[in-house]
Chains A and B, each alone.
Chain A
Amino acid sequence: MHILVCGGTGCHASSSNLLLENLKEQVDENELSGEVQVIATGCFGFCEKGPIVKMVPDNTFYTQVKPADATEIIQEHAIKGRQVTRLLYKDPVNKETISDSRKMGFYKKQIRIALRNCGLINPENIDEYIAADGYIALGTVLSGMTAEQATKVMIDSGLRGRGGGGFPTGIKWDIARKVEADQKYVVCNADEGDPGAFMDRSILEGDPHSVIEAMIINGYCIGADHGLVYIRAEYPLAIERLKIALNQAREYGLLGKDILGSGFNFEIEIRYGAGAFVCGEETALIHSMEGHRGEPTFKPPFPAQSGYLGKPTNVNNVETFANIPVIFNKGAEWFASIGTEKSKGTKVFALAGKINNVGLIEVPMGTTLREVIFEIGGGIKDGKKFKAVQTGGPSGGCLTEKHLDTPIDFDNLLASGSMMGSGGMIVMDEDDCMVSVARFYLDFTVEESCGKCTPCRVGNKRLYEILDTISKGKGTHKDLDKLRNLGDVIKDTSLCGLGQTSPNPVLSTMDNFWDEYIAHIEDHRCPAGQCKELIHYTVVEENCVGCTACARNCPVNCIAGERKEIHFIDQSICIKCGACLEKCKFNAISVS
């Protein structure tokens, strides 16, 4: 029996490392080490319910397991073969208890290619990766294919870059392959920056060898013997596992000189980023690696022609790389058979927001938003109404009810006014104010713009300020015209992808939630009750029993009233923190 314990950052933060130790201790104490193996794996994806423990082979899926539960799991499940029912997953909709992960709504519709090994193997053990068909693709390529043939497999697969732009990976490789140069480079972009997105981190934490293997294949295809992983320093666990994996690959002769006796040499080094969002843009990333300020430069020349240190360079995202070994193992036709006409394969999304099943999912291209949100995601939290879903992070837009049946792929999302981005997906319900949402993203962009070009440096700041004015009920119709013109001009004139997409959250919410903007401007009202300047907390006199809970919890002492008498909120002092509403058990506080 194998006991798989999630060792991803999320579960780790909920003490899964302690849980792991306790389980191992229990195994030893009960002298089960011959039959039971406890293994730390990468992320299972179902972070909402972490820490996750999975029992193999029966696929029992335990959720929210605490370190203290170790004894019971060993005693009951491992020794007596009885499931610990209280730790099993309950479907949020029909309240059914499900023990087999394959039958859970969260996993049923997923097809895991990039995440194939995450939650299955021990990422710190190369043998487990090899046992899961690891490095077979590398062997196939190095022993039997020319660079041109291998690149053709990539082109035929139709794989497009998963970092945001969606440029066909094979074609990118082919450009770099055809450029003649004394030195070329392969770069892995692990500078994941979208707020809420963590697929790249999870892959590096859960299956680092898949990325290493793909980088070597990339190097072989374009004629590069040097690879660099640009990773943000705030991913310590991913860095640690990547380092372990690199060392193991070197020990096994899979990195270094004359790999697998093919005569091909390849080495990989790690470069740390300081976590600037703009360094996910490939030219900015390259400048950062060169020791310069992380700023994008004009393309062309494209990195495939002139990149790191002026040499032809392929920059691919972590998730893109993770797909590649499987493409060689199962064939380009197999990969191309998944997905839609122009977007092949699967896409990993980081599902977050007001949704029951928060976590990392991987679905075939062409899956609809409805399937993702209501089937895999288990619907909206607390039975509230779905309002919008934000895709593509700060570069994307907000999609609504009418987009729910749109099959997700690069082109459809773009046509709907959003984009794929790196795969952030934030679900919003009726309580979310779309003006505030747009303002939130602009706040992020203002902070993360490099400041090189005028529209992005100043324009985004002005967008933010106008949104802020509107959210305070001080906006005018003219402000809406300004938002529209400014948004269009910033998209039209910015230097890099950051500025060219940063107005999307504003423009898409204006397109889809015009009435909400108008309510803020004409009625000075925030329909979702989120904009602090526009809401008031008042005491509903007929419900107030004078329990004093609100007054005791008010941080600014703006609630007056004697015991068993009706209370009163002084609006001039109230900071609209909502503590009174939260504490009142009698529905005696209303928001207007």
Chain B
Amino acid sequence: MGKLKVKIDNKLIEVEQGTTILEAAKKLSVEIPTLCYMNLGDMNIEHKPGGCRICVVEVEGRRNLAPSCATDCHDGMEVKTHSIRVLNARRTVLELMLSDHPFDCLICAKSGNCDLQSTAIKLGIREIQYQGEKSTYKPDLSPAILRDMDKCIMCRRCEKMCNEVQTVGVLSGIYRGFEAVVAPAFERDLDHSECTYCGQCVAVCPTAALTEVDHTNQVLRALADPSKTVVVQTAPAVRAALGEEFGMEPGTLVTGKMVAALRQLEFDYVFDTDFAADLTIMEEGAEILGRLNRHLSGDKSVKLPILTSCCPGWVSFFEHHFTDLLDVPSTARSPQQMFGAIAKTYFADKIQKNRKDIVVVSIMPCVAKKYECTREEFSVDGNPDVDFSISTRELANLIKRANIDFNKLPDEEFDAPMGESTGAGVIFGTTGGVIEAATRSAYEMHTGKTLEKVDFDQLRGWEGIRQATVDFDGFQLKIGIAHGLGNARKLLDDVRSGKSEFHAIEIMACPGGCIGGGGQPLHHGNSAILKARQKAIYREDANKPLRKSHENPSIIKLYEEFLGKPLGEKAHKLLHTKYFRRGNIICIEPDVREAESI
């Protein structure tokens, strides 16, 4: 197929067949404004419903204006992206959108970070001529996600993520005309749907229609309470993205500055979720080897593959959609919850405090973690192991509120003992990382040999579904990796039908893993940002003196002083969990939803 000659704003360009006007314009550095369009090219996620009509352009010989995101170039095409006809139409369409939007930018959660606002600025809107009735919907406050559909502009990006990328299928267009909105079926609350709280809808929402539930004020209150000892843990992916909120290049590692900031916020102990990630490897690694050895010795009752269980979005997903496979995933709790359980037992004893006087705050790249820490099984007598989970974005906000000049902070170190971690704990933040960390330890535990090369390049990458075979001294360990719940579903379907040949599978709900979590600084559809974060995670790993979880001295000490051995009685009680059959129906009556324990 030959190249097409196209003229855009009087500039000539040659493009391949199938190139859209928007893409061709971009090559000429002509930035046509868009709103509903989203392209996460590296992850094969392209959304161009042609709904917002902001990107319209004038095409010579065409009756009406063309949406540049969804119109392919043809040979000899002449396009004008800023004729008076286009500018007037674009402006009118945006005014219409704004006329059905609350004017509360001053106090909006997304102010300054809102695509609608920035488009209004770009188009120079100073007046909204077409005012009238606004569509209103009941607000929906779930444990993790706040839906304020008055702010929905019907870009449908969330629907794309929820239905096609994650295959969760909770969000879709409902009602018609002026009332049309994206919502769960029958406009039920998220809490009464199959929502996994993965937060990918939040990650792509251009406005504040979908935001995380804000827990910063609760955290500030706890910090101000002299009777409380406030302990903070920071997830691995946070350090690779937090800098973006302070104008740093994507991929800048800010571990030391983050620790310093948390100390200035007056957290009593600044610890690291990476420590708990190492702990997770001890338990999960032992579980993998246990199942594997039984399997190899011919025990037919053992289930393989074993699936990771660090990701709460993923856990919700299989609790809703794969209720017949609840005994397949590892029973190991997530690092956030292991941390909370240890902090309120082992560490509480160490500082001689009652668990009720300790507040555990987690900084997570995730919104599902907010939901996870409210799960009943993760509390003792009504006192949760983790009290509050806040996102990377909320932490940035806390830092700004405390008048801290983040960029000028010195690098500081985590506190001991729960601040010590290995490189294996760090890579939990990216797709492929958990299984690589597990492989490093499992290899040595299984073979009794020292692993010389700890980098498993075959487990790294961006493909939605990856597979690799690792030589365990003669035994070939088959590993599967999926990120994004849609990809997870494919692997799970194979497990269900008995076709899966893997011994172990790592699953992360968000595309890219935690670095692309719903609580991270907004990527605004730029997947290069996610790639930069991933590189930073591997950099942090490479720079660590210890890179295998079982070599973490604080972990070794924890077992010696408190837990005994992996999968031991105490470990089982504090570090493992059970799963619930939640079914995959929209519940009309709330009581139908009573989770059934197995």
B-binding residues in A (CB < 8 A):
276, 278, 293, 295, 297-298, 300, 445-455, 457-462, 465, 482, 485-486, 489, 491-495, 500
Contact = CB atoms under 8 A, between A and B. Distances in A.
A454 B93 contact: yes
Interface in B44-98: 49-54, 56, 64-65, 67, 70-72, 85, 88-89, 92-93, 96-97
Contact of A451 (B50, B96, B97, B179): B179
B177 A449 contact: yes
5 contacts: A446-B177, A446-B178, A454-B97, A457-B177, A492-B65
B594 to A, nearest CB: 30
A243 B546 CA distance: 75
Contact of B178 (A461, A489, A494): A461
A427 B152 CA distance: 41
Given A454-B154, A458-B99, A458-B100, A500 B64 contact: yes
B246 interface: no
A485 B97 CA distance: 16
Interface in B185-237: none
Contacts of B99: 458, 462
A447 B176 contact: yes
B52 A453 contact: yes
Contacts of A461: 100, 132-133, 177-178
Contact of A482 (B72, B97, B129, B178): B129
Contact of A276 (B50, B70, B176): B176
B60 to A, nearest CB: 15
Interface string B21-55: 00000000000000000000000000001111110
A493 B89 contact: yes
B139 interface: no
Contact of A454 (B52, B129, B132, B133): B52
B410 interface: no
Contact of B173 (A295, A449, A458, A491): A295
A495 B50 contact: yes
B173 A452 contact: yes
A486 B96 CA distance: 9
B527 interface: no
Contact of A449 (B96, B129, B178, B181): B178
B52 A465 contact: no
Given A298-B50, A460-B178, 12 more contacts: A300-B72, A446-B178, A452-B49, A453-B53, A454-B53, A458-B100, A482-B129, A485-B88, A486-B130, A492-B85, A493-B64, A494-B53
A364 B115 CA distance: 54
B92 A486 contact: yes
Given A446-B178, A458-B100, A482 B173 contact: no
B175 interface: yes
A457 B178 contact: yes
A500 B62 CA distance: 14
B173 A293 contact: yes
A293 B93 contact: no
Which 8 A-B pairs rank lowest in CB-CB distance, beginning with the nearest?
A451-B180, A449-B177, A458-B96, A465-B132, A489-B92, A461-B178, A462-B130, A493-B53
Contact of A462 (B49, B64, B96, B181): B96
A454 B175 contact: no
B167 interface: no
B154 A455 contact: no
B252 interface: no
Contacts of B97: 454, 458
B172 interface: yes
Contacts of A454: 51-54, 93, 96-97, 153-154
Contacts of A459: 92-93, 96, 130
A492 B130 contact: no
Contacts of A451: 154, 173, 175-181
A450 B176 contact: yes
Contacts of B56: 492-493
A140 to B, nearest CB: 39
Interface residues of B, number: 37
Interface of A is mostly: helix
Contacts of B176: 276, 278, 447-451
A457 B50 contact: no
A491 B176 CA distance: 19
A448 B176 CA distance: 7
Contacts of B92: 455, 459, 485-486, 489, 493
Contacts of A276: 176
A455 B130 contact: no
A492 B175 CA distance: 25
Nearest to A469: B132
A480 B85 CA distance: 19
Contacts of A489: 88-89, 92-93
Given A454-B97, A457-B180, A458-B99, A492 B89 contact: yes
A482 B130 CA distance: 8
Contacts of A482: 129-130
B499 to A, nearest CB: 26
Contacts of A445: 177
A455 B153 CA distance: 12
B193 to A, nearest CB: 17
A295 B64 CA distance: 20
Nearest to B132: A465
Contacts of A491: 64
Contact of A495 (B53, B72, B100): B53
A452 B51 contact: yes
A486 B92 CA distance: 7
Nearest to B96: A458
Nearest to A450: B176
B180 A450 contact: yes
Nearest to B64: A492
A306 B128 CA distance: 40
A293 B172 contact: yes
Nearest to B53: A493
A465 B132 CA distance: 7
A494 B92 CA distance: 12
Contacts of B70: 298
A459 B95 CA distance: 10
A386 to B, nearest CB: 32
A457 B71 CA distance: 21
A459 B131 CA distance: 10
Interface in B108-151: 129-130, 132-133
Given A298-B70, A462-B96, A493-B56, A453 B177 contact: no
B93 A465 contact: no
Task: Choose among A452, A482, A495, A500 the residue with the greatest number of B CB atoms under 10 Å from its CB.
Answer: A452
Nearest to B91: A489
B154 A452 contact: yes
Given A494-B53, A495-B53, A455 B178 contact: no
A445 B64 CA distance: 20
Given A448-B176, A486-B92, A493-B93, A455 B132 contact: no
A295 B51 CA distance: 11
B47 to A, nearest CB: 13
Contacts of A462: 96, 99, 130, 132
Interface in B347-364: none
A544 B85 CA distance: 60
A299 to B, nearest CB: 10
A17 to B, nearest CB: 35
A465 B133 contact: yes
A420 to B, nearest CB: 17
B387 to A, nearest CB: 41
Nearest to B181: A451
Contacts of A447: 176-177
A300 B20 CA distance: 12
A453 B92 CA distance: 13
Nearest to B155: A454
Nearest to B101: A458
A482 B128 CA distance: 12
Contacts of B133: 461, 465
Contacts of B50: 297-298, 453, 495
